[in-house]
Structure 1
């Protein structure tokens, strides 16, 4: 009886020991089976993944320098060309303001180019330059409504700064250019850099296609190269349904200038018609 009691106690203790050892093994399997190594490798892969994106910004700074290098060059061109760019103010016979526009001198004796629609119906005009000088415009020497270009004459005693026209019929495709507007029209520096992308023709004549769009405020402005020579002039698009601007090449201006004879006198058509039909 005593032996059976001892055997029962021994068996119970053995069961308790086995139960404790069984329960003790579970935490070990949970620890060894936990994804600690995977979690450790996961941060390392996360640390490596930003490296490609971190390398991307390194290539990005290569873009701004090109625009910065061209800007100072054309800023110098703008300061050189600017004195020859003028603001043209046109009046009718009664002295009422008709319109204003941009133009630029092409000869020392005061000849300048602007858009013909600016002077339409005009009887008098003045040309104001960036230095504040105001010159009386004596009239129109020649004009073309098709091209929307006109050559006028301003009075001068000492001569004026002027821009030379680019000579030669070679194509200027891929040439870097700048559109120089009047500083009297815009508050900021009137400079817009671009590239001649193509030379084409339309119903009105040859035109230069510019890589960047040109604001309508630039109508009448010269398009110059890095040396300050005029490659073209900005005119409004006159085709039906067309919007924006068109750049006419300097050769077109040359053809217009060829129409001016040595004895051609500047005149205002509206002023001359006043004597034919005087106002009461």
Structure 2
């Protein structure tokens, strides 16, 4: 009797285990949707095709290429004249994507989709077309805000929180790839926080198919919320290879709110030139960890008025720890213009707190442009890479670090590509290039001019005078 009870209990236990396994498999199956059809039906009415047209000068677009002096040159010119072309301007069209964010007709797309356009036509999922006007653009994040006037409320989609998107999450891209309107592609979040080239970049990388024409279209999460604006692809042939980039919605929403309210962006401005703190810099100034943003210059502006000095390391901004220059630039840019913030700096072995009232970056850039200066972005070090070398203009801070006299000039080598000819010939970080082509140089522009002059003269290499710890030597580097 006892044996029978034991067998029955074992059988019951096995049945329960089997049921648990089936339930677990069902939960796993639910994690991967059987179809994206319901989501596509839900969001597609809010996605739009965008057609732009621009008048361009004849000959600026693609056409028959006939070499000067060719016997066919006159023939093609006469052919164009007969067809009424001649040198008259022609209208050029381009395609892109976008999405409606409010029932009263606000539409988000990429700046490069509508830049320079004379006319912007919006085609809706229903087939209706409306002309749009440009409310504002932000080339730094490649975002543009458009507006159409409609007699009826328009279907729209909400933004989601891109910070909650995890690597591996499903996403859906909808747009107008290669003119094939209202096309849907699915994939996953491949990576987060990608930086391509701008100081304010925060891209979501995805393997959802994105092609030309998808630009400006939305990237949806599974709740039908926009977590990114499809902007760029990485491709050797111009087509999708599964590496696409969407500007994160948390960047886009702030830009869109400002464009909607002001017609332009209004980013905070600290007024410093900065570079990343390296291990050797941290050790040289006594920092316990390699973090923060090293101030290389303090021109007239908010930081200077508050007493910030070149050589300070910005450790904290408005309560946020600063890891590197890119993080500081984004934090400052997201701060409100006119806000008084506390900035903690490391100076001469101890920390100090400065109270700084932020200016507006766009105003500072306009002033620099009118003055004919080209001030570098905060967060973008005054560095240039060429010939396998990372070069910076000489500053007082670099003179001190390299133990050079106040008369030292030239370009300081910050890093050397180990695969380069420069590394093979002995150039190292800390070297100072004082001459190129037997001409004194103090800026990257002067070095670049010597490179071009050498190329124009048919020379295959450029002679550099390099000083290390004050000792000079010549090095010849091959010109590409």
For Structure 1 versus Structure 2, the TM-score category normalised by the shorter chain is 0.5 to 0.7
Asked if 2 retains the 8 angstrom alpha-carbon contact of 1:82 and 1:182, the reply is no
Say which of 39, 44, 48 aligns to 1:82: 44
How far apart in 2 are the matches of 1:183 and 1:100?
9
* Superposition pairs of residues 46-61 of structure 1, within 5 angstroms: none
Of 164-173 and 144-153, the range deviating more from structure 2: 164-173
Distance 1:77 1:109, change over 3 A: same
Asked if 2 retains the 8 angstrom alpha-carbon contact of 1:127 and 1:136, the reply is yes
* Superposition pairs of residues 37-116 of structure 1, within 5 angstroms: 70-72=33-35, 74-92=36-54, 96-116=91-111
Give the secondary-structure state (helix, strand or coil) at the position aligned to 2:204.
Answer: strand
Say which of 189, 195, 200 aligns to 2:188: 195
Q: RMSD in angstroms over aligned alpha carbons?
A: 3.4
| TM-score after normalising by structure 1 | 0.61
How far apart in 1 are the matches of 2:203 and 2:177?
25
Asked if 2 retains the 8 angstrom alpha-carbon contact of 1:90 and 1:99, the reply is yes
Give the secondary-structure state (helix, strand or coil) at the position aligned to 1:220.
Answer: coil
How far apart in 1 are the matches of 2:113 and 2:219?
19
Structure with the greater relative contact order (CA < 8 A, sep ≥ 6): 1 or 2? 1
Which residue in the other structure is 1:251 paired with? 250
Q: CA deviation at 1:145?
A: 1.9
Asked if 2 retains the 8 angstrom alpha-carbon contact of 1:87 and 1:184, the reply is no
Which residue in the other structure is 2:369 paired with? none
Asked if 1 retains the 8 angstrom alpha-carbon contact of 2:163 and 2:250, the reply is yes
Q: Which has the higher helix share?
A: 1
Q: CA deviation at 1:95?
A: 9.0
Distance 1:90 1:223, change over 3 A: same
Distance 1:226 1:149, change over 3 A: same
Which residue in the other structure is 1:124 paired with? 119
Q: CA deviation at 1:162?
A: 0.8
Establish whether residue 214 from structure 1 lines up as the match of residue 177 from structure 2. no
Give the secondary-structure state (helix, strand or coil) at the position aligned to 2:141.
Answer: coil
Which residue in the other structure is 1:236 paired with? 232
C-alpha deviations, 1:60-118, integer Å up to 9, x for none?
xx9xx969x6252x111111111111111112368934312111111111111112112
Give the secondary-structure state (helix, strand or coil) at the position aligned to 2:33.
Answer: helix
How far apart in 2 are the matches of 1:183 and 1:168?
23
Establish whether residue 223 from structure 1 lines up as the match of residue 219 from structure 2. yes
Q: CA deviation at 1:212?
A: 4.4
Distance 1:127 1:212, change over 3 A: closer
Distance 1:110 1:226, change over 3 A: same
| Structure 2: gaps spanning 5 or more residues | 1-24, 56-88, 265-480
Larger radius of gyration: 1
Asked if 2 retains the 8 angstrom alpha-carbon contact of 1:77 and 1:226, the reply is yes
Distance 1:254 1:213, change over 3 A: same
Distance 1:75 1:182, change over 3 A: farther
Asked if 2 retains the 8 angstrom alpha-carbon contact of 1:196 and 1:208, the reply is yes
Give the secondary-structure state (helix, strand or coil) at the position aligned to 1:142.
Answer: strand
Matched residues, number: 198
Asked if 2 retains the 8 angstrom alpha-carbon contact of 1:75 and 1:191, the reply is no
How far apart in 1 are the matches of 2:128 and 2:208?
32
* Superposition pairs of residues 102-181 of structure 1, within 5 angstroms: 102-137=97-132, 139-167=133-161, 169-181=163-175
C-alpha deviations, 1:225-255, integer Å up to 9, x for none?
122110111102599x998642111112112
